[in-house]
Structure 1
Amino acid sequence: MDALDQVGPRLRAARQARGWTLDDLAGRARMSASTLSRLESGKRQASLELLLPLTTELGIRIDDLVTREQPDPRVKRPIVRRDGMVLAPLSRERSKVQALKVTYTPEHECGEPRVHEGYEWLYVLSGRLRLVLGDRELTLTRGEAAEFDTSVPHSMTAVGGRPCEVLSIFDETGARMQTHTAEASAD
């Protein structure tokens, strides 16, 4: 699809959203209603000379009229297996918020609680999760959620000899700490 293919329909939608007729907008932009009609229907090629007065009157930007190529929405990142966990990224690498499906296997050992900058939200999809948060120890089951500041010492593991699947969402800082590789953690 050409980037200009949607200029006419978007121009029409912006005009109609304001409740204006062709004559209303054409008069405000100092052009004929037939020129505007041909622009909206795609029978006249859009030019800056025509679009600038129209977008000014409509209170929109020219960028609002031009089709932007939409990237493939699928997230294609490798699954990481580390320390008895399976980390499946659910968001793009450069997203400000990171989402992961984390599977804690029965082999995963909780280890010492960690502290780092950031914030985390989690939701238990299946199994039972042991969450150590500061001096509290909680067991979360399917359908339960938690949110916490990761500057509080914390650790997580599966409970009951079965895997536990968790949807975890991190802010940018928390994501860097959670998804770093074992080699990076040695630095």
Structure 2
Amino acid sequence: MDDAETDAAEVGRTLDAVGPRLKQLRLGRDITLTHLGEATGISVSTLSRLEAGLRRPTLEQLLPLARVYGVTIDELVDAPRTGNPRINLRPIACKDGSTVLPLTRRPGGIQAYKFVLPAPSPGGDVEPVLRTHEGHDWIYVLNGTLRLVLGEHDLVLRPGEAAEFDTRTPHWFGVTGSGPVEFLSLIGKQGERAHVRAAPKRATREERT
């Protein structure tokens, strides 16, 4: 087998392995095939075949998928590393106008994100659409006023305030007030929780001596 055939075989093996990564990314982002199809312009049946490994993706399909997931094409296909150690985490633009910035990239465990919700349009009250998924969420508001509908509770969180909850409880995030909202989210997909330790007590002069 010459070099060209070897390279072609390597590309083929790489493309054959894309399917499971596509499914893992979609489930990790909590996106349905229907929503992904609307965001990329790729039919649900094609997306399903790509994830199942029944069809190799083309560049025209990889580009919108990489844009929606906020990753590079190299990351999408798990291309060999080129020696650049920098982590390239790109913001994800959502259909509702919000932006999600992944802050970590690690398999399993707690994942960190920064959410930016846009300021509401004048007179544009949004009806909460509650959803559920597996996991546990810890949120901390950085700027703006966040509305959190959690089950039968309707809460307002301001900068410096935090909340945690089981994401199997129906929930929804929104903006209350005139400006945008920025908040951090630590999500454990399998129910992992963030543990916050209190600051250690400083020893008095008598205790130090």
Q: If the length of structure 2 is used for normalisation, what is the TM-score?
A: 0.46
The whole-number CA distance in structure 2 between the counterparts of 1:140 and 1:124 is: 7
Could you tell me how far 1:100 is from its partner in structure 2?
0.4
- Output one character per residue of 1:93-148: Cα deviation in whole Å (capped at 9) or x when no partner: 52521100001112494631101111100000010000000011000000000000
- Output one character per residue of 1:150-182: Cα deviation in whole Å (capped at 9) or x when no partner: 11110001111211000000003479xxxxxxx
Any conservation in 2 of the 1:130–1:139 contact (CA below 8 Å)? Answer: yes
Stretch of structure 1 that moved more, 164-173 or 117-126: 164-173
Q: Which residue does 2:103 correspond to in 1?
A: 90
Q: Which residue does 2:164 correspond to in 1?
A: 147
Any conservation in 1 of the 2:128–2:149 contact (CA below 8 Å)? Answer: no
Any conservation in 1 of the 2:120–2:179 contact (CA below 8 Å)? Answer: no
Q: Aligned letter for 1:104? A: L
Any conservation in 2 of the 1:75–1:90 contact (CA below 8 Å)? Answer: no
Provide the secondary structure at the position in 1 that maps to 2:113. strand
- Give 1:1-187 correspondences, 5 Å limit: 75-82=87-94, 83-107=96-120, 109=126, 111-173=128-190
CA RMSD in angstroms, aligned pairs only: 2.5
Provide the secondary structure at the position in 2 that maps to 1:169. strand
Moved segments of 4+, more than 6 Å: none
Structure 1 pair 164/73, CA: closer, same or farther in 2 (3 Å)? farther
Q: Aligned letter for 2:115? A: V
- Output one character per residue of 1:2-22: Cα deviation in whole Å (capped at 9) or x when no partner: xxxxxxxxxxxxxxxxxxxxx
The whole-number CA distance in structure 2 between the counterparts of 1:168 and 1:73 is: 25
Structure 1 pair 81/93, CA: closer, same or farther in 2 (3 Å)? farther
Report how many residues are paired. Answer: 105
The whole-number CA distance in structure 2 between the counterparts of 1:150 and 1:105 is: 23
The whole-number CA distance in structure 2 between the counterparts of 1:125 and 1:117 is: 25
Give unpaired runs (5+ residues) of structure 1: 1-70, 176-187
Give unpaired runs (5+ residues) of structure 2: 1-82, 193-209
The whole-number CA distance in structure 1 between the counterparts of 2:146 and 2:104 is: 23
Stretch of structure 1 that moved more, 100-109 or 127-136: 100-109
Any conservation in 2 of the 1:116–1:174 contact (CA below 8 Å)? Answer: no
The whole-number CA distance in structure 2 between the counterparts of 1:73 and 1:143 is: 33
- Specify the structure having the higher radius of gyration (Cα): 1
- Output one character per residue of 1:17-40: Cα deviation in whole Å (capped at 9) or x when no partner: xxxxxxxxxxxxxxxxxxxxxxxx
